[in-house]
A and B are shown apart, each in its own frame.
Chain A
């Protein structure tokens, strides 16, 4: 049985793909019932097969640690692309603790989002198309998660990118949606170009693509030397690992490549929920975890990761406080949480004694796990609110507590979870991250994490109070939809209880690292973190709790310029527009196009003109008039005679 399951491990990927093909090619625009039936069936089958796979993995690998010392099992593998003799890339299914964890997260969230979407998309003309694209995304995401080698990961990495592109631009008639889709694709593509470069460099050195090969200490030693690039002395290992990390930088929307994620909220809310919060955007974190042994061996790489992560966490949380659109706030919150996961990996590095502080690694993966559920739920809840009031602006909400009771309760648990309040799931994973930051000795990062935790609690409860409390600031409200409510209610279970699984992460989710592991404890830390969180919630209550916004408005006015800068996201979008429009389009592409037409093509035309002019000149000689020929002949003879005479 177990054997059978492992041999057919590709089935987890197959079902979403089948769903995509059946719905996308087989069904017409109006077969809504059939499309939702197929979508649910495929999501259920994918969930079941991934549960079976996880079970088989547990029995085979985790319970026989002697046979699988690095807890890694390649269940399926088939050769895909041959480059040169001895160098080829496979397609396969790799099972290890983090891939199994992601497999379960992706399929379970996909299942719930499918149920939810049936309600949310009910009246949309693109209903059938939506489910086809959603299944395509799930397929691509599973392929990414289960990749056995870095090229397979890149292949599916691009595929999730393109399904994200098509789903952000789902409402293709809205210019904003189309523009956001393009922006998301191009920004991540920019990062992916470096990722591809990193893959090329490392595969060239290692002679292969497999993660097991790339992560082996031998490769790190092989690469760990200085090379001169354009006169600069660079460590090849650091360079390569940073190139690879660049892919994660874009995909996980780290500062300053985060600009695409808030705009991506133009897509339908279920899409934001599964792609732009729970699964795809953590692909960058996942990549970093996947390549962790290599990154950890590279001088400086983890420091970069830590810095970028911490910066993004704080930066996004600050912006989130000022935003007015419910989904944008959640988008910035996602950025901030991704920053947490990233710097947590960054602090999980070798201590001066040569030990691995693996706590950061497991804490990061743990946060990926808990965040997926509570953030997915926050988006689904926000979607329910938007569905009810037909607007996303917080200023048009308020007092929805009575109208949407289920959503209200669910959102409350999710907000408590993300704020890190005991005993909700976020409490445990945030606490683990704080502990990791503290134990690594990077006190600045610890401080940032603590402050960001407070900010998070504040802006989440600002959102919560503005939406559900106070007096209603809107007209008609639609009732809750049973499909949507069902998905939301189911999600409360992991949102509340996922924290209880912490021991699984600290016990098994450990990369194959050569150094001994240290754990650390600080009994006062949970008290401090909870204290900060509760204070922030109290602050939010004071400012926004009663539905009286005068105090908050006065505060904004007092802050004046600072508030304006933060509200406009530090004008980074404008800076990007300047670079692309003014510098690249007008400064590079326009001259290139002009040069091509005027100079290069002009040179060709000039050749033709010269030849033509030459022809015109010579043509005069062949004019067919006898007297001219005779005159020329006489002149020639005379000239020749003179010439001969002179010699």
Chain B
């Protein structure tokens, strides 16, 4: 199978899976799930195949290169009047993000196996969403990029509004409105790029060759960056995240926090920073302050939460803040660390939401103060939860440390005083992270077991599958970070060089 065809198959397959579900009977729950799992499992295999081929065929980029090199590229006119093309290709960052998506969606489908309520619609929407996500990662044309971006964001409204818990309508509405407001910024920015470039083109690679006038960059950069950063939960536009994640059903939380939030970081890097380097140089110190607030403030907010999902959501605010923090550091190691953090946080938070869903289905509460001693009745889930918590606080040997230490080293490497101060604050945040993580972990697994939990059972084999996959990924990335770092190095070099031009 040639490369472009492979890429096309990967983003199409979820849509096809969704279509395959469409004619099924509403009550054929098992069949619906099996088809979803089959489609997305196959897709994951394709992505692994893609990754192997990518590693095989990726040339080692000369460190001085300024232009991102996309493999398996293919382009054809789609809507030629406006110069919109079907233009695809991948670099290491997109391949890794696709791999993350593949892993998380397979685990998400496995984790939502018990779901019976309108499962047909649920899985169709879920597949559409995932197809949109893949589309974003393969697109090199800003218009299709944006189109897929919207396809990925909008099903969330229904998924939370219909299958959620708690204040689900409010949460779904808030999430969608805030993200769509961000999208409006992005779309305005993309159109500005389209016209300002003089090319009347949405082609990312061609736009990257243009040196936009400084005055233009100074207003276009914050527009696009903020637009994407809303999805990346940048302070003060993060408040959709706690409510949204808390209300969403398990698989949706996993996908949203694990993958969708990464679209924000991905867009910031791929569009805002890559195309508007001078704007980035001017504005990133300002954003550095905002995201430092993110990192600390998210952690402090998490200390006082009592609902497991809120704790995780605020920890996501803090950890996703680190992604943007790595960008804003404006150093090589910082950018690389940010990309690693996207992968790491995706895996970790997916595991968190997966476990919380499983624990909630047993205890019927998410209040940490109501739980305790679960280690006795569900050792597997408890140990997994402890490991997830340790990954969250950046324990070496798990993926979080690799990403965080790169970000910190990178942030400090920038000699500006502001960077130094922000680095010190961000490093100290690891203590706060330890406080809320251990608080959650301890009150969940430790202490005496309440009588009403005495008869609960541990995870079934089916439930162990997604947890084991995610744990293996966390350990794999944490213990042997070499290959992933080599890939990311290659992709980050041109973006970094371009930013510093």
The contact of B482 among A79, A169, A190, A608, by CB within 8 Å, is A79
- In angstroms, Cα B402 to Cα A158, docked, is 13
- In angstroms, Cα B92 to Cα A358, docked, is 53
Contact A592 B449 (CB under 8 A): no
Which residues of chain B in 65-121 are interfacial with respect to chain A, using CB atoms and an 8 Å cutoff? none
The contact of B409 among A203, A590, A608, by CB within 8 Å, is A203
Q: Which of B127-135, B186-194, B298-306, B457-465 contacts A (4 or more CB under 8 A)?
A: B298-306
The contact of B442 among A85, A182, A603, by CB within 8 Å, is A182
Contact B434 A83 (CB under 8 A): no
- In angstroms, Cα B395 to Cα A155, docked, is 8
Write out, one digit per residue, whether chain A residues 186-230 have a CB within 8 A of any chain B CB (1) or not (0): 100110110011001101100000000000000000000000000
Q: A234 to nearest B CB, angstroms?
A: 13
Q: A173-B449, A203-B409 are in contact. Are A592 and B297 (CB under 8 A)?
A: yes
- In angstroms, Cα B430 to Cα A87, docked, is 23
Contact A600 B236 (CB under 8 A): yes
Contact B447 A84 (CB under 8 A): no
- In angstroms, Cα B235 to Cα A603, docked, is 13
Chain B contacts for A166, CB-based, 8 A: 386
Chain A contacts for B341, CB-based, 8 A: none
Closest B residue to A593 by CB, please name it: B304
- In angstroms, Cα B373 to Cα A178, docked, is 10
Q: B128 to nearest A CB, angstroms?
A: 26
Contact A200 B409 (CB under 8 A): yes
Contact A193 B428 (CB under 8 A): yes
A604 at the interface (CB under 8 A from B): yes
B438 at the interface (CB under 8 A from A): yes
Closest A residue to B434 by CB, please name it: A189
The contact of A178 among B297, B413, B442, by CB within 8 Å, is B442
The B interface, classified by DSSP as helix, strand, loop or mixed, is helix
- Residue pairs across A and B with CB atoms within 8 Å: the count is 138
Contact A600 B427 (CB under 8 A): no
The contact of B446 among A151, A169, A186, by CB within 8 Å, is A169
The contact of A196 among B301, B427, B434, by CB within 8 Å, is B427
Chain B contacts for A185, CB-based, 8 A: 434, 438
Contact B447 A197 (CB under 8 A): no
Chain B contacts for A197, CB-based, 8 A: 424, 427-428
- In angstroms, Cα B237 to Cα A603, docked, is 10
- In angstroms, Cα B236 to Cα A179, docked, is 34
Contact A604 B448 (CB under 8 A): no
- In angstroms, Cα B434 to Cα A189, docked, is 7
Contact B481 A81 (CB under 8 A): yes
A264 at the interface (CB under 8 A from B): no
Contact A201 B412 (CB under 8 A): yes
Interface centre among B390, B435, B485 (most CB of A within 10 A): B435
Write out, one digit per residue, whether chain A residues 570-603 have a CB within 8 A of any chain B CB (1) or not (0): 0000000000000001001110110010001101
B63 at the interface (CB under 8 A from A): yes
- In angstroms, Cα B331 to Cα A644, docked, is 63
Chain A contacts for B410, CB-based, 8 A: 83-84
- In angstroms, Cα B485 to Cα A600, docked, is 37
Contact B395 A80 (CB under 8 A): no
Chain B contacts for A201, CB-based, 8 A: 412
Contact A81 B485 (CB under 8 A): yes
Which residues of chain B in 428-454 are interfacial with respect to chain A, using CB atoms and an 8 Å cutoff? 428, 430-431, 434-435, 438-439, 442, 445-449
Chain A contacts for B489, CB-based, 8 A: 82
Q: A155-B401, A200-B423, A589-B301 are in contact. Are A83 and B439 (CB under 8 A)?
A: no
The contact of A173 among B236, B238, B240, B446, by CB within 8 Å, is B446
Contact B431 A83 (CB under 8 A): no
A66 at the interface (CB under 8 A from B): no
B405 at the interface (CB under 8 A from A): yes
Q: A242 to nearest B CB, angstroms?
A: 14
The contact of B239 among A79, A84, A601, by CB within 8 Å, is A601
A615 at the interface (CB under 8 A from B): no
Q: A178-B447, A182-B439, A604-B239 are in contact. Are A83 and B406 (CB under 8 A)?
A: yes
A614 at the interface (CB under 8 A from B): no
Contact A80 B447 (CB under 8 A): no
Contact A155 B402 (CB under 8 A): no
Q: A84-B413, A204-B409, A596-B239 are in contact. Are A181 and B431 (CB under 8 A)?
A: no
B210 at the interface (CB under 8 A from A): no
Q: A361 to nearest B CB, angstroms?
A: 29
- In angstroms, Cα B438 to Cα A62, docked, is 46
Closest A residue to B375 by CB, please name it: A172
Q: A21 to nearest B CB, angstroms?
A: 11
Closest B residue to A91 by CB, please name it: B479
- In angstroms, Cα B442 to Cα A320, docked, is 30
Interface size on B, residues (CB 8 A): 60
The contact of B376 among A81, A173, A203, A204, by CB within 8 Å, is A173
A14 at the interface (CB under 8 A from B): no
- In angstroms, Cα B442 to Cα A603, docked, is 35
Contact B446 A175 (CB under 8 A): yes
- In angstroms, Cα B442 to Cα A173, docked, is 10
The contact of B304 among A83, A156, A592, by CB within 8 Å, is A592
Q: A84-B332, A172-B373, A193-B428 are in contact. Are A592 and B177 (CB under 8 A)?
A: no
Closest A residue to B177 by CB, please name it: A608
Chain B contacts for A585, CB-based, 8 A: 303-304
The contact of B297 among A82, A154, A193, A596, by CB within 8 Å, is A596
Q: B268 to nearest A CB, angstroms?
A: 21
B408 at the interface (CB under 8 A from A): yes
Contact A604 B397 (CB under 8 A): no
A391 at the interface (CB under 8 A from B): no
B26 at the interface (CB under 8 A from A): no
Contact B396 A154 (CB under 8 A): yes
Q: A163 to nearest B CB, angstroms?
A: 11
Write out, one digit per residue, whether chain A residues 145-156 have a CB within 8 A of any chain B CB (1) or not (0): 000000100111
Chain A contacts for B408, CB-based, 8 A: 196, 200
A311 at the interface (CB under 8 A from B): no
Chain A contacts for B439, CB-based, 8 A: 182
Chain B contacts for A335, CB-based, 8 A: none
- In angstroms, Cα B372 to Cα A179, docked, is 13
The contact of B481 among A80, A177, A600, A603, by CB within 8 Å, is A80
Interface centre among A87, A172, A200, A603 (most CB of B within 10 A): A172
Closest B residue to A81 by CB, please name it: B481
A377 at the interface (CB under 8 A from B): no
A162 at the interface (CB under 8 A from B): yes
Chain A contacts for B406, CB-based, 8 A: 81, 83
Closest B residue to A604 by CB, please name it: B239
- In angstroms, Cα B320 to Cα A72, docked, is 42
A412 at the interface (CB under 8 A from B): no
Q: B400 to nearest A CB, angstroms?
A: 11
Contact B431 A193 (CB under 8 A): yes
Contact A83 B442 (CB under 8 A): no
A534 at the interface (CB under 8 A from B): no
Q: B462 to nearest A CB, angstroms?
A: 20
Contact B482 A193 (CB under 8 A): no
Q: Interface on A for B, CB 8 Å cutoff?
A: 79-85, 87, 151, 154-156, 158-159, 162, 165-166, 169, 172-173, 175, 177-179, 181-182, 185-186, 189-190, 192-193, 196-197, 200-201, 203-204, 585, 588-590, 592-593, 596, 600-601, 603-605, 608
Q: Interface on B for A, CB 8 Å cutoff?
A: 63, 174, 177-178, 235-236, 238-240, 242-243, 297, 300-301, 303-305, 331-333, 336, 373, 375-376, 386, 390, 393, 395-397, 401-402, 405-406, 408-410, 412-413, 423-424, 427-428, 430-431, 434-435, 438-439, 442, 445-449, 481-482, 485-486, 489
Q: List 13 A-B contacts (CB under 8 A).
A: A81-B402, A82-B486, A84-B333, A158-B395, A165-B438, A166-B386, A169-B442, A189-B393, A196-B427, A585-B303, A592-B297, A593-B305, A600-B235
Q: Please give 13 more A-B residue pairs, beta carbons under 8 A apart, in addition to A83-B336, A159-B397, A605-B174.
A: A82-B482, A87-B333, A87-B409, A165-B438, A175-B448, A185-B434, A193-B428, A201-B412, A585-B304, A589-B301, A592-B297, A596-B239, A600-B236
Closest 7 CB pairs of A and B: A178-B446, A155-B396, A593-B304, A589-B303, A601-B239, A592-B300, A189-B434
